[in-house]
Amino acid sequence: MAERLVGKQAPDFTMATVDGSGESFGKVSLSDYKGKWLVLFFYPLDFTFVCPTEITAISDAADEFKKLDTEILGVSIDSVHSHKAWIKTAKEDNGLGKLNFPLASDITKSVSKDYGVLIEEEGIALRGLFIINPEGELQYQVVHHNNVGRSVEETLRVLEALQSGGLCPIGWKKGDKHLVAK
């Protein structure tokens, strides 16, 4: 049985990155996001078919995440060089084009394993999405089969609900009333 992560400190990480323009390489650690919310999402592989639909949709919504004081980090087991090539490839050629957040390389597969999304026999990650609060505590996780994309709208809704600090019923949206504990 997989270990529960929600409600605990998020597993620490340090990974190599390429920025969203595909121009420069760097490194990122969980501690770099201290004081901010983080949407950390895993996808199986660069140059695949469902992945660019998700990644570009998340990139298109980057301003909405920024308004919620939230950073975004995409992760796969590919190298930063593969990430760079994918960013530099035109969308009409199954590329990403410029992104509004970096992509990280989990080439050792250790971060995917720590977050419980590694399919060991295939050497790739499931589609896992994690919301980590400013104190580094994991607040939300969702994991999909690799043939199903995630919803940016649902991620934003859940993020707003978590940030609201109240009891949020099903379908809660910003501006809705919270439940009152009796």
User: Is the residue at 156 inside a domain?
Assistant: no
How are beta strands 14-18 and 25-29 bridged, if at all?
A: antiparallel
User: Is the residue at 181 inside a domain?
Assistant: no
Position 1 confidence tier, pLDDT thresholds 50, 70, 90: very low
Q: What is the CATH number of the domain that holds 59?
A: 3.40.30.10
User: Is the residue at 57 inside a domain?
Assistant: yes
Position 2 confidence tier, pLDDT thresholds 50, 70, 90: low
Helix and strand counts by DSSP (H, E) for the chain = 5, 9
User: Is the residue at 135 inside a domain?
Assistant: yes
In the predicted model, what is the mean pLDDT of the chain? 92
User: Is the residue at 161 inside a domain?
Assistant: no
Catalytic residue numbers read: 51
Q: Among all chains, which residue has been given the structure tokens 């971060």?
A: 111
User: Is the residue at 92 inside a domain?
Assistant: yes
HEC profile for 18-83? ECCCCCCEEEEEHHHHCCCEEEEEECCCCCCCCHHHHHHHHHHCHHHHHHCCEEEEEEECCCHHHH
Note the pLDDT tens digit of each residue in 80-114.
999 999 999 988 888 899 999 999 999 999 999 99
Query: What is the residue range of 68's domain?
Result: 14-150
What is the number of domains present in the chain?
Answer: 1
Note the pLDDT tens digit of each residue in 5-36.
898 999 999 999 999 999 999 999 999 999 99
Cα gap 80→118, rounded to integer Å: 19
pTM of the predicted protein model: 0.94
User: Is the residue at 69 inside a domain?
Assistant: yes
User: Is the residue at 36 inside a domain?
Assistant: yes
